Amino acid sequence: MSGEAIALSGPDVTQAEIDAVVSVLRSDRLSIGPRTEAFEALVAERAGRKYGIAVNSGTSGLHLCVKALGLREGDEVITTPFSFVATTNCVLFERAKPVFVDIDPDSYNMDPEAVEAAITPRTKAILPVEVFGNVARFDFPGNSQHH
């Protein structure tokens, strides 16, 4: 082996993102300001909801989503271990049980067939992770939401 790292994904930062950050840094509000309020309004509009709530991290947002499901001890959540630890921790915080499935080697996302095979009567949720910008493909019978 040559010892070279295998790059799975690189950053995707354009000048637009750089300009937006610089604009905030030059303002008098670095957090909980007009940019946050605009972001929350856009998220609410996109989701077709009255409110959108910005949080401090992806972990916090994911935990709120998992908490909103009302999971209980013993409930199973199908997910992937090929993710940041927060994906599993958010399930464990609610005392539910993560059930790991294999990934598709082409997308690195959860293999839909493995997900379907892992569903049991105790399954209360499926927590997909879309890796490196690859959109998850879940075309289960009765699934009316396709990406």
Residue 104 inside a domain? The answer is: yes
Q: Are residues 61 and 126 in the same domain?
A: yes
Please name which of 53, 57, 59 lies closest in space to residue 39, comparing C-alpha atoms: 53
pTM: 0.73
64 within 8 A of 55, measured Cβ to Cβ: yes
User: Do 71 and 90 reside in the same domain of the chain?
Assistant: yes
Is pLDDT larger for residue 39 or for residue 140? 39
In which band, very low, low, confident or very high, does the pLDDT at 2 lie, cut at 50, 70 and 90? low
Report the SS3 class of residue 117: helix
Range of the domain at 42: 14-54
Stretch (H or E) spanning 126:
strand 123-126
Q: What is the pLDDT of residue 11?
A: 80
pLDDT tens profile 37-85:
999 999 999 999 999 999 999 899 999 999 999 999 999 999 999 999 9
Least confident range of 29-43, 67-81, 125-139? 125-139
| Same structural domain, 77 and 44 | no
